[in-house]
């Protein structure tokens, strides 16, 4: 292949490699944590290092956590807010508290305004006869790429207006990066723990690759259908961020040797097959792009030739209409 074609091929390959990352993580978050048991697990894992969250939830009976029904949460993966729950207080009082989980994978300046809106539109106890609004404890679940403290930003930007007053709801930020991998890997609630790990490392492909073996051991404890569904959801909603190789590894069923921590001949053979498949796919992509490029260049040259012929034909017709001789026309076309 000549240098010009090689240069064009490299540019095309780079454009293909840089896939757009437009899909949000919210639907995956809703799918996993709309289940109150999974939501409880996520918050318990987050409390390990988040003292503010421990204080906020210290008065709440988390075993009474119940998803608030409504259009915003009736379909697990889509809706107006992320997830809204109600729960009882530990003191046995007749009042309920609202727990709002608002997921963000990027910094959003109006997140507190958004939560404020939800406190009146979503956090409602429809069975109450006097005061129907729930005291709201909002928890922002964040898995973005940079540090963020929306409460500190709010206080800094609006301190002259709020005069030291608090927000009309309690609010704590949970940054998933602060949850240690080791406590997730030891968590018996596999679906909730895997969800936390995958979202935590969504922008950290190398970190997630390093966890594939441990994740496979966790997933091997799930039945085949549940495992397949979970991996399908990971691929559907986070596939643009996660290496395809990682997704394929998560799909694989563990062998007896892997469960026992022994690499068998079968494991080595399957690993070699997967490595060969990846190399083959890469080589096939390069070959296909090279062939496509050559065909494209040929087609482009043919189209350009036809275009020039059509232009020349119109020029000849015009010149002949002005009584220019064919010899002179041929000479003019030859020097253009």
Give the SS3 label for residue 332.
helix
Phi–psi pair at 82, nearest 5 degrees: -80, -85
Supply the pLDDT for residue 184.
96
pLDDT in tens, 113-146: 888 888 877 777 666 656 567 888 999 999 988 8
Question: Of 50-64, 165-179, 273-287, where does the model show the most confidence?
Answer: 50-64
Supply the pLDDT for residue 161.
64
Spatial CB neighbours of 113, under 8 Å, sequence gap ≥ 6: none
Q: What is the mean pLDDT of residues 211-240?
A: 87
pLDDT in tens, 70-89: 534 433 444 445 799 999 99
Supply the pLDDT for residue 116.
84
Q: Does the pLDDT at position 57 exceed 90?
A: yes
Supply the pLDDT for residue 270.
55
Distance CA 1, CA 8 (A): 11
Q: Does the pLDDT at position 22 exceed 60?
A: no
CA angle 236, 239, 242 (to 5 degrees): 150
Per-residue DSSP letter, 244: H
Per-residue DSSP letter, 165: P
The mean predicted confidence, pLDDT, of the chain is: 78
- Please report, for the chain, the start and end positions of each structural domain, with discontinuous segments joined by +: 26-204+230-239
Measuring CA to CA, how many Å separate 226 from each of 67, 190, 191, 231, 234? 22, 11, 9, 9, 12
Cβ burial of 174 (10 Å; 0-12, 13-18, 19+) is buried
pLDDT in tens, 143-152: 988 889 888 8
What percentage of the chain has pLDDT greater than the value 90? 27
Q: Does the pLDDT at position 171 exceed 80?
A: yes
Supply the pLDDT for residue 55.
96
């Amino acid at each position: 292949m000549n240098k010009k074609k090689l240069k064009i091929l490299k540019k095309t390959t780079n454009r293909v490699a840089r896939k757009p990352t437009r899909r949000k993580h919210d639907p995956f978050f809703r799918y996993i944590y709309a289940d109150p048991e999974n939501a409880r697990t996520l918050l318990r894992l987050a409390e390990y290092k988040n003292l503010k969250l421990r204080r906020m939830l210290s008065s709440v009976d988390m075993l009474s956590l119940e998803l608030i029904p409504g259009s915003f949460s009736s379909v697990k993966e889509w809706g107006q807010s992320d997830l809204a729950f109600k729960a009882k207080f530990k003191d046995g009082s007749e009042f309920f508290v609202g727990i709002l989980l608002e997921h963000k994978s990027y910094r959003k300046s109006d997140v507190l305004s958004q939560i404020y809106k939800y406190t009146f539109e979503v956090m409602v106890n429809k069975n109450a006869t006097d005061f129907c609004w729930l005291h709201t404890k909002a928890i922002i679940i964040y898995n973005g790429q940079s540090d963020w403290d929306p409460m500190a930003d709010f206080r800094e930007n609006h301190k002259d207006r709020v005069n030291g007053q608090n927000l009309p709801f309690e609010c704590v930020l949970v940054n998933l990066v602060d949850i240690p991998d080791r406590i997730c890997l030891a968590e018996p609630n596999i679906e909730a723990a895997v969800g936390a790990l995958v979202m935590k490392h969504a922008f950290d492909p190398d970190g997630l690759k390093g966890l594939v073996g441990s994740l496979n051991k966790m997933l091997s404890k799930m039945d085949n259908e549940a495992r397949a569904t979970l991996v399908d959801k990971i691929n559907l909603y986070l596939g643009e961020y996660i290496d395809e190789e990682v997704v394929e590894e998560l799909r694989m069923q563990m062998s007896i040797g892997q469960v026992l921590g022994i690499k068998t001949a079968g494991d080595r053979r399957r690993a070699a097959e997967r490595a060969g498949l990846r190399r083959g796919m890469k080589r096939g992509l390069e070959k296909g792009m090279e062939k496509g490029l050559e065909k494209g260049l040929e087609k482009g040259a043919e189209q350009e030739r036809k275009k020039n012929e059509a232009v020349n034909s119109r020029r000849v017709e015009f010149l002949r209409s002005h009584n220019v001789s064919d010899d002179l026309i041929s000479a003019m076309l030859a020097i253009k």
